[in-house]
Amino acid sequence: MSQGGLWDSQLTQVLKLMPATIMPREETWQLGLKSWKQRKESFTADVLASDGRLVSVPPPSSQLESRDKLWRLHSALLQCRSLLERAIAKEEEELGGEKKADYETQRKLVKDRLSLLLINTGELLKSVDGAGGPVSQRGRIGDGPTSVFEMKVWVYRIFKEVDHWTKTAITTLQAMPTVITKERARTVRARATRSARR
Amino acid sequence: MPHLSISPSCSSIWLICILLTIHTHAKDALTVPQVRLSADWDTQQLTISWQGGAATTFDLMILRTELNETVFYETVNVPLNQASGQHQWTWTSVEPLECTSLSIKIRSRDGQTTSEWSNTQILQGNDLPSKETFQVYPQDRIVPVGTNTTFCCIVEEGKVFGSILYGNRVINTRRLSRRSYAATIVNQGPSTRTGTNVICYDDPKTKLSGSVVFVGYPPLPTDFACETQDLSSAVCQWNEGRDSHLYGKRETYYSVNKSPQQKRREISFNRWDGNWTLVAVNHLGQYTLTDFAELGHRVHLVAPANLTSVNRAWDTTVAWQWKFDSYSSLALECQVELTSNGQKTKRTFSGVGLRSVVLSDLHPDEDYSVQVRCGAQENFWKWGNWSKPFSFKTSTTDTSVAPINLTKIAAFKSGRVIATVIAKNNAGASQPANIPLRLTGVEPLTASRAVYVDGGFPLYWQSDANATCGYVVEWHDTSCMSDCPVEWIKVAAGNTNVSVESVPSSLALLSTRQQGSNILLTWGEIPLVNRRGFILGFNVYMSNGSQFTLLANLSDRGARNYTVKGLPEGSYKFTVKAYTVAGEGTGAPASITLEPYTDWLILEILTSLGITALFLVIVTFICYKKRKWVKKAFYPDIPEPKLPGDWSRTPGPLDVKPSSHSVVHIVERPELDSSKEMLVVIPEEDEDEEGQGIGDEPVDTDEPASLRYYNQVVDERPIRPRFPDSSASSASSLDSGTHRCDGSSEDQQPQAELSVNCGGGGGGYRPQMQPRAQSEDMGLASPEPFLEPQAAIAGGYKPQSSWHFDSPVEAGESAGRAPSLGSPTSVASTEFLLPGGEEHAEEKQQLSSSAATWFTNLLSSTKP
């Protein structure tokens, strides 16, 4: 059996066995943005949305195979978690933190769910490549925020990235079984063609 | 330098020249300053240094470079700094120095003499074209509550300034330069944990920039105190006091006796110092607190640990251990909180190095929980920490005394019961104890009246020298015959009196009865068992909802009834309560509804009937006496028609005989009973025998009386020719409850004009035809639409239109026969027998009108 065939069957199997938590409801991932807004910051950084992305991954392409899509997704989620951890640390340094406050609680919840999603996508990748290939874990560090206001905007943009990539993850994973089936069929047809030529 | 020459004519010119020369020399003496600038961006301070020679007074001018607006222009006195050899002056800007470029120039002044202005030095702001970005200043400023802060917004190159918001509030701005705008926030309130945002938008809102300002207070800690737990080291604690509103890295830092700064509000020292100084610092200031105390005055004991117990039936020894051995020589005071069945009690013990206490007065076989805490007995500072809760259960091995368990009745001896009491528990049974009880039902001893005091009565007895454990007072109801509950009180040794509670008696059943217009309340004697005291009398109450109104106080103990008088009709509730010296009993309620007195009612009815009868008699008599006037007024004679020819020669009443075949009209109404739907055939014999046939008619058997009465009336009347009097002719229609149409025959032609030709549309003689509209109305009111054309065709002979209302056309059967009685109804009227389904108000009007007509007829018939 070729490497791709094994990957496909294992992915299908893992997806079937995957805990329901890997497919969270969409709104749960918006907690970060919601809690940020609930903190009554008196502004939203939506007007800064055009300031470029914090997570850098190869551009999406319809030509990518399922495995490559998963690699891309996993890489982006890793950067998200790294950025989120930095954001949490920076916020606590600058503003302190109440462990029982709503914002801090929901921020931790987002981080925990992101970690769970990363574990599951990591398991999928392991099932394909064994130990897994090199994945960029660091987001675009840049100079980092130099003032409290910049930090607030930066944290907001990180939440936007987390929101975007978790939604992408849901879409990608949901579409994965169908894609795998098509790819498998394509593979079978190719083999049949090659056999016929022989 | 001007050349000097002597010329008297030019003396004044010379003077001027000299003065100018002097002035020029003086000017030359003032040095033009050489200026250097140094900016502190955080404090918004601009330090200006210059070399200005010997002058000490200078003119300083500061302008906003772009708009050339003067920000500062004053003459200042700045002495020469001998060390640096320079003059130095510091200026604090209202706006952040980044907001826009500033131009500074200085000149020396000596009185009115000034030097030239120095070269302009420019402090470049961040609104230079080379710095294109969107900026807001100052950033991350920390200011005390109540201060004013000026922010400036430098719009991105190429953008248009929009607005500046402080939190959610738009604030007024002023322009500093082409791209820079400033706004001042006055009297700032404390900010939240994340600071207050200052946001600058362009116009339209495509971009934003901002800053965060933290507004708070300097530190103000409270309750700083140091104490010891192990009697050697020290632990100092304090409270934050006033909220500084500063968090994160702006939070207040603390230091005690120059220890490293920390955020925690507790610090430990290995040795007891005795003097402590707390310094609290944040970005807005610092605060110092001191504490002084000897070690023995600040002992805060740790919580007792490892609690154990030795349990007995009635007491328990609880022991614990101390973390520090140093406590063994310390005089301690300990609190033990004992919890049993949810009840908490605190007991206090003391002793040197106390490690155990005995908890007495417990109950056997009970679950308890204890917590212990202690403090120094001398120089008490505060209670130590509570130990963890410790649970234990008292033992059950002691059987000397136990709750009474009455097991059997031993014997009856001359009216006395001996009860044997054996105490039992897990360890076995106790020795039996005999308790003599008085047998109930035995004649009680002579009763004596006790004095009621404070809810009971006092009972005294002589002390018994043999009594060591006290007394037990038992009692039961004297009236109780069997299975009587015995109540008892245990009285401590030494006491020879007790107060026994007593409750006033209740009352036997109360009954009520009406006697005429009064109410008689009766009640029975209160049974002895319910008395519970000497009854002094009764109180009678009338209850009105929840309120009792005292009607009577009956001090007669033998009273068994009471009469309530003078009450109007209605429902009443009464309560009779017996009372003793202890007060009233519960009482017995009873209700009654007072009804009107029937004898009077009957009398009233009879009186009314008598008056009515008398009135009728008087009216009848008057009418009889004045019958002429009445007839003239209400029933004048109808002028008889003048008939040409020999009609008057008709020898007698006309006999209208129908043809051999009877004409039958079917009058049908579904909802009526079958007797009214039947076909009625009027034989000639019936027609001839007017006056006697009605009663035998099979039709209208429901209403025979009215018809019979009518017949009687007709019988009394003298037989008159029908044709001259239309009213008489019309009366013939009343001899039957059916509708009849005579077929016109040759020999009856003369009469045919008085009757109606049913089949012919033209009909006979119709002196006054009913209006068409009325016919239509009737048709609409008719329950049977198919009858309408027939009725319209038949029309009916209606001698006078005023009699229209008497016409039975609209008088249904249910409306009674009265309207038709005596009315000059046409014999051809087909509507007379139509059952009236609906009763209209109009019909009622007709009824009254017809009744008047009948009355008139009656009077006419009595005419001699």
B168 touches chain A (CB under 8 A): yes
Q: Is the pLDDT of residue B406 over 80?
A: no
For residue A45, the chain B residues in CB contact (below 8 A) are: 208
**Of A40, A145, A37, which is closest to residue B196 (Cα–Cα)?**
A40
Q: First vs last Cα of chain A: how many Å apart?
A: 19
In the structure, what pLDDT confidence band is assigned to residue B344 with cuts at 50, 70 and 90?
very high
For residue B210, the chain A residues in CB contact (below 8 A) are: 43, 149, 153
CA distance A102 to chain B (A): 13
Share of chain B above pLDDT 70, in %: 63
Q: Is the pLDDT of residue B77 over 60?
A: yes
Q: Which of B167, B208, B212 is nearest residue A148 as measured by Cβ atoms? A: B212
- Up-side HSE of residue A104: CA atoms within 13 Å toward CB? 13
CA distance A14 to chain B (A): 44
3-class state of residue A116 by DSSP: helix
Angle between helices A102-129 and A31-38 (to 10 degrees): 160
Q: Which of B140, B199, B247 is nearest residue A42 as measured by Cβ atoms? A: B199
Share of chain B above pLDDT 90, in %: 38
For residue A147, the chain B residues in CB contact (below 8 A) are: 139-140, 211-212
**Interface contact flag, B248 A94, Cβ < 8 Å:** yes
C-alpha distances (whole Å) from B359 to each of A111, B393, B573 are 55, 12, 59
Q: Which of B167, B194, B199 is nearest residue A95 as measured by Cβ atoms? A: B194
pTM (predicted TM-score): 0.54
- Letter string b/e over residues B80-92, b meaning 16 or more CB atoms within 10 A of that residue's CB: beeeeebbeeebe
The values of phi and psi at residue A137, to 5°, are -105, -10
CA distance A83 to chain B (A): 20
The values of phi and psi at residue A4, to 5°, are -65, -40
In the structure, what pLDDT confidence band is assigned to residue A25 with cuts at 50, 70 and 90?
very low
Q: Is the pLDDT of residue B245 over 60?
A: yes
- Classify residue B501 as exposed, middle or buried by CB count within 10 Å of its CB (0-12, 13-18, 19+): exposed
pLDDT of res. B552: 87
Q: Which of A43, A93, A152 is nearest residue B248 as measured by Cβ atoms? A: A93
User: In the CATH scheme, what architecture does the domain B510-599 have?
Assistant: Sandwich (2.60)
For residue A99, the chain B residues in CB contact (below 8 A) are: none
In the structure, what pLDDT confidence band is assigned to residue B189 with cuts at 50, 70 and 90?
very high
Q: What is the phi-psi region of residue B763: left when phi exceeds 0, alpha when psi lies from -120 to 50, beta otherwise?
A: left
Distance CA(B465)–CA(B574), nearest Å, equals 55
**Interface contact flag, A43 B165, Cβ < 8 Å:** yes
User: Which of A148, A150, A151, A152 should be substituted to probe chain B, the one whose Cβ sees the most B Cβ atoms within 10 Å?
Assistant: A148
Distance CA(B176)–CA(B99), nearest Å, equals 8
Q: Is the pLDDT of residue B22 over 80?
A: no
Q: Which of B136, B167, B208 is nearest residue A47 as measured by Cβ atoms? A: B208
pLDDT of res. B711: 41
For residue A52, the chain B residues in CB contact (below 8 A) are: none
B133 touches chain A (CB under 8 A): no
In this complex, how many residue pairs, one in chain A and one in chain B, have their CB atoms less than 8 Å apart?
Answer: 58
CATH of B305-393, picked from 2.60.40.10, 3.30.390.50, 3.40.640.10, 3.40.50.970, is 2.60.40.10
pLDDT of res. B237: 95
Q: Which of A45, A47, A98 is nearest residue B206 as measured by Cβ atoms? A: A47
Q: What is the phi-psi region of residue B285: left when phi exceeds 0, alpha when psi lies from -120 to 50, beta otherwise?
A: left
**Radius of gyration for chain A, computed over Cα atoms and rounded to the nearest angstrom:** 20
**Interface contact flag, B194 A149, Cβ < 8 Å:** no
The sign of the CA dihedral B110, B113, B116, B117 is: positive
Contact indicator for B228, B271 with CB cutoff of 8 Å: no
CA angle centred on B374, ends B373 and B376, rounded to 5°? 165
Q: Is the pLDDT of residue A158 over 80?
A: yes
| Nearest residue on chain B to A90, alpha-carbon basis | B248
pLDDT of res. B148: 95
C-alpha distances (whole Å) from B214 to each of A42, B65, B650 are 15, 31, 133
Pull the structure tokens for residue B110.
């000596």
User: In the CATH scheme, what architecture does the domain B34-123 have?
Assistant: Sandwich (2.60)
Distance CA(B854)–CA(B863), nearest Å, equals 14
For residue B240, the chain A residues in CB contact (below 8 A) are: none
Q: Is the pLDDT of residue B647 over 70?
A: no
| Nearest residue on chain B to A101, alpha-carbon basis | B193
User: In the CATH scheme, what architecture does the domain B135-216 have?
Assistant: Sandwich (2.60)
Topology alike, domains B34-123 and B510-599: yes
User: What are the extents of the domains in chain B?
Assistant: 34-123, 135-216, 222-297, 305-393, 510-599
Q: What is the phi-psi region of residue B584: left when phi exceeds 0, alpha when psi lies from -120 to 50, beta otherwise?
A: beta
In the structure, what pLDDT confidence band is assigned to residue B681 with cuts at 50, 70 and 90?
very low
Pull the structure tokens for residue B356.
């155990």
pLDDT of res. B325: 92
For residue B197, the chain A residues in CB contact (below 8 A) are: 41-43, 149, 152
Q: Which amino acid, B211?
A: S
Contact indicator for B660, B742 with CB cutoff of 8 Å: no
CA angle centred on A157, ends A156 and A159, rounded to 5°? 65
B263 touches chain A (CB under 8 A): no
pLDDT of res. B502: 63
User: Which of A42, A151, A155, A156 should be substituted to probe chain B, the one whose Cβ sees the most B Cβ atoms within 10 Å?
Assistant: A42
B508 touches chain A (CB under 8 A): no
**Radius of gyration for chain B, computed over Cα atoms and rounded to the nearest angstrom:** 64
The sign of the CA dihedral B291, B296, B297, B301 is: positive
What mean pLDDT is predicted for residues A31-43? 63
Q: A34-43, B16-25, B171-180: lowest mean pLDDT where? A: B16-25
Contact indicator for B459, B473 with CB cutoff of 8 Å: yes
Pull the structure tokens for residue B681.
């055939």
**Of B741, B689, B730, B736, which is closest to residue B853 (Cα–Cα)?**
B730
A148 touches chain B (CB under 8 A): yes
CA distance B225 to chain A (A): 27
CATH of B222-297, picked from 2.60.40.10, 2.40.50.100, 3.40.50.720, 3.40.50.12280, is 2.60.40.10
B163 touches chain A (CB under 8 A): no
Q: First vs last Cα of chain B: how many Å apart?
A: 171
3-class state of residue B643 by DSSP: coil
**Interface contact flag, A152 B212, Cβ < 8 Å:** yes
- Give the rounded distance of the alpha carbon of B422 from its chain centre: 60
CA distance A114 to chain B (A): 25
Pairing of strands B141-144, B208-216: parallel
What mean pLDDT is predicted for residues B582-594? 79
For residue A42, the chain B residues in CB contact (below 8 A) are: 165, 167-168, 197, 199
pLDDT of res. B47: 94
B212 touches chain A (CB under 8 A): yes
CA distance A116 to chain B (A): 29
CA distance B260 to chain A (A): 19
Listing DSSP states for B247-290 in one string gives -GGGS-EEEETTPPPBSSSEEEESS--SEEEEEEEETTEEEEEE
Listing DSSP states for B744-807 in one string gives P-GGGHHHHTTS--SS-SS-S--SSPPPHHHHHHHHHH-S-TTHHHHHHHH----S-GGGGGG-
Q: What's chain B's length in residues?
A: 864
**Interface contact flag, B205 A47, Cβ < 8 Å:** yes
pLDDT of res. B688: 42
pLDDT of res. B759: 38
Distance CA(B569)–CA(B592), nearest Å, equals 10
A179 touches chain B (CB under 8 A): no
For residue B247, the chain A residues in CB contact (below 8 A) are: 95-96
- What are the tens digits of pLDDT across the range B359-394? 998 988 889 999 999 999 999 999 999 999 999 999
Q: Which of B193, B207, B208 is nearest residue A96 as measured by Cβ atoms? A: B193
CA distance B252 to chain A (A): 12
**Interface contact flag, A95 B193, Cβ < 8 Å:** yes
**Per-chain mean pLDDT for chain B:** 74
CA distance A109 to chain B (A): 20
A100 touches chain B (CB under 8 A): no
List Cβ neighbours of A83 (8 Å cut-off, separation of 6 or more): A54, A55, A139, A158, A161, A162
pLDDT of res. B731: 37
Q: Is the pLDDT of residue B621 over 50?
A: yes
B199 touches chain A (CB under 8 A): yes
User: Averaging pLDDT over each range in A141-145, B406-410, B753-757, B784-788, which range is the top one?
Assistant: A141-145
Which residues face B74 on adjacent strands?
Answer: B60
CA distance A52 to chain B (A): 14
**Per-chain mean pLDDT for chain A:** 71
Whether ipTM exceeds 0.90:
no
A51 touches chain B (CB under 8 A): no
How many Cβ atoms are within 10 Å of B165's Cβ, its own excluded? 19
- What are the tens digits of pLDDT across the range B764-818? 344 444 444 343 344 333 333 333 334 333 334 444 444 444 434 443 333 334 3
The sign of the CA dihedral B644, B650, B652, B656 is: negative
What mean pLDDT is predicted for residues B721-734? 40
List Cβ neighbours of B105 (8 Å cut-off, separation of 6 or more): B35, B61, B117, B118, B119, B120, B121
pLDDT of res. A135: 54
**Interface contact flag, A95 B247, Cβ < 8 Å:** yes
Q: Which of A42, A45, A94 is nearest residue B249 as measured by Cβ atoms? A: A94
